[in-house]
Amino acid sequence: MGANGVVVAVLRSPLHRMMSRAMCVVEYRGRVSGRMYRLPVQYVRDGHAVEILVGRAEQKRWWRNFRSEGEAELLLARRSVPMRAIAVVGAEQPEAAEAMAARYRARFPRVTIDPATAVFVRCDPR
């Protein structure tokens, strides 16, 4: 089990409280492979929505499953929440990315974000 597997296991366990305020698990089906994927991510809330900053997005592929709206399940404080997810690419949607970056900076002041190159995944309850 790699580091992501350990974090997912903690977030699914009674010990989740030490991480759940900043981390959740996103579960989704790959659009091409059809496989189920589960990964831990850092998030912020915007009302009932959840916004995920994709770290080193140019090196990641998972967020591309949400270039068009897709379905995901988020494990938030051990509760499974069905969501609709969509990628927000800063270069394509600068105003939305700037607003999301501002919410991230407010919650995580040490995080450095360039909204022009950032990628977020916004999840709204189904």
pLDDT-above-90 percentage for the chain: 82
Question: What number of other Cβ atoms are within 10 A of residue 87's Cβ?
Answer: 22
Q: Do the Cβ atoms of 85 and 69 come closer than 8 Å?
A: yes
Contacts 24+ apart (CB under 8 A), 108-117: 108/22, 108/42, 108/44, 111/53, 113/53, 114/90, 115/90, 116/90, 116/91, 117/57, 117/90, 117/91
Whether pTM > 0.85 for this model: the answer is yes
Residue with tokens 């091409």, as numbered in its chain = 32
Tens digits of residue pLDDT in 97-112: 999 999 999 999 999 9
Give me the domains of the chain, ranges plus CATH numbers. 3-125 (2.30.110.10)
How high is the pLDDT of residue 89?
98
Tens digits of residue pLDDT in 28-62: 999 999 999 999 999 999 999 999 999 999 999 99
Tens digits of residue pLDDT in 8-24: 777 787 767 777 788 99
